[in-house]
Amino acid sequence: MTLLKFNDRNNQAVANNYFAFSDLISDFFGNEGYRDDYTAIPEANISEDENKYQIELAVPGLEKKDIKVEIDKDILKIRHESSEKKENENHRYSRREFRYNGFTRNFVIPESVDDSKMKAKYENGILMFELPKKQKSEVEQKREIRIS
């Protein structure tokens, strides 16, 4: 079986003008690292050692006061409301690769995490969470149940 990448560009007559212009701009300015499909979900790194999990979220350009973090049951919810900057009416973009859109990012917290001891820090555009693991004695131990 051969897998082929689906290219919807050929099937959308209406989009042809958009893609033609986008290609023209890319050819002129170069498209190194350019994404047409902007998404407002910040990228994350998640790591673990024997004592804790660590989550790092790339959120450059934000102020700490504009980021909301909460725990709802076993979900860590991180949210930033949109604060789109007013644009100068006389200023038109040839290309716009970053925006000031809001985002929501959720993570399931494992049962082994002691969420009462979680810490968060925002530094140099990186939002870092430290999720300490419960002590081994706090995690339910395996036990056998006799059948009568």
Q: How far apart are CA 145 and CA 64, in angstroms?
A: 51
Please name the helix (run of DSSP H) or strand (run of DSSP E) that holds residue 28, with its range, or none.
Answer: helix 16-29
Query: How many C-beta neighbours within 10 Å does residue 139 have?
Result: 10
CA 80/CA 41 separation, integer angstroms: 10
Domain-by-domain residue ranges, the chain? Answer: 8-34, 38-82+98-136
The pLDDT assigned to 83 comes to: 57
The residue among 84, 81, 44 whose CA lies nearest residue 65 is 81
Give 10-residue mean pLDDT values along the chain (148 residues).
48 56 60 52 92 95 91 92 67 74 89 93 96 79 78
In whole angstroms, give the CA distance from residue 60 to residue 13: 37
* pLDDT value, residue 2: 45
Check residue 106 and give its pLDDT: 94
Q: CA 53, CA 132: separation in Å to the nearest integer?
A: 6
pLDDT at 51: 95
Reading the block at residue 73, the tokens are: 């049951």
pLDDT of residue 1: 44
pTM of the model: 0.62
Of the candidate CATH numbers 3.40.630.30, 3.40.50.2300, 3.40.47.10, 2.60.40.790, the domain formed by 38-82+98-136 belongs to: 2.60.40.790
